Structure 1
């Protein structure tokens, strides 16, 4: 089994996603990944010491895609309320897209995120960190009132849970969901205003 392509961790993760999509998390093996790469399974293990480590890395990669999109909104130099609204909308859109555009892979990731407490916890920390930055900028500008931006950010994240927690994915395509989302966002933003 030889390949002319340089084997990198990123390439292994790309192929692992394809294998998971094809076989599902219950049947996908490191041997399947190695076969798809045209290498021995030992070559995969040189990059990821265990099957669990490989699955954790795939989960983290998948979750990090959402965080990266949201980082761009956090970094913008504009009205904190507009950034907060855009951030929440982008999070909802990203999660809906993941659930709707590739249902097989989304079902796989539901299993993987259930196994992967560390990656999920880090993802939630990253998201609430982004929200904290937006809330802090709102407090600094006088637009928001919050004694502790980090506590407020965590509350915002929990208050909007229905629109980003994958356990609610079936609800995301129901008629009227956008209006419900807007109503919740309006409520939390009004509550934040100074």
Structure 2
């Protein structure tokens, strides 16, 4: 790190991601992150009090990238709820598949970290479910969907499509039938929601 650059939490998280990619979660240390930044490990600890806090922050950052992209679809009032729901589910599947395929080492690392960061993952799932709830509620309000409780329906949609976004199923995402299975599942769910 150049002496004129300010050490920020974001720079530390970027460096941590690279260190995790290189060394994996079992071997990556705060000292490795500090070395990559050209600072002392104490400088890193001033931003993140513990190694666990650093790992949680990098996991949350990774999960937030997906949430933020999907939020734009969920909030796009220019499209009807059915289109938004289909696009939202497709974007989630595409994002997860891309992360697993483009950088398998980092994806495997994040899968390990996500297993350690139960709170961050639960918060992420709550955020995604809230986005789905908004879409379903908009569909109900417009008369396109039928649901006594949009939150319950949204959670059911999320759980029913788990094969296409839960990292446990990453090995299935590039099978020849994955896209057809995804389309069949989404079409079935949409038929069930239609008023």
Same fold? TM cut 0.5: yes
Shorter chain as normaliser: what TM range?
A: over 0.9
Matched with 1:104 is: 105
Deviations, residues 95-134 of structure 1 (Å, cap 9, x unaligned): 0001000000001001100000111001000000000000
Matched with 2:23 is: 23
State the Cα distance separating 1:75 from its structure 2 match: 1.4
Matched with 1:176 is: 177
State the Cα distance separating 1:2 from its structure 2 match: 7.5
| SS of equivalent residue, structure 1 residue 173 | coil
Asked whether the equivalents of residues 67 and 123 of structure 1 are also in contact (C-alpha less than 8 Å), the reply is yes
2:83, 2:111 → 1: CA distance?
Answer: 31
Matched with 1:116 is: 117
Q: TM-score, normalised by structure 1?
A: 0.98
Q: TM-score, normalised by structure 2?
A: 0.98
Correspondences of 1:104-183 after superposition (within 5 Å) = 104-183=105-184
Q: Give the paired residue count.
A: 194
State the Cα distance separating 1:5 from its structure 2 match: 1.1
2:115, 2:65 → 1: CA distance?
Answer: 18
1:113, 1:7 → 2: CA distance?
Answer: 26
Matched with 2:80 is: 79
Asked whether the equivalents of residues 2 and 39 of structure 1 are also in contact (C-alpha less than 8 Å), the reply is no
Unaligned runs of 5+ in 2: none
Deviations, residues 158-189 of structure 1 (Å, cap 9, x unaligned): 00000000000000010011000000000000
Unaligned runs of 5+ in 1: none
Matched with 1:70 is: 70
Q: What is the alpha-carbon root mean square deviation over aligned residues?
A: 1.0
2:185, 2:108 → 1: CA distance?
Answer: 27
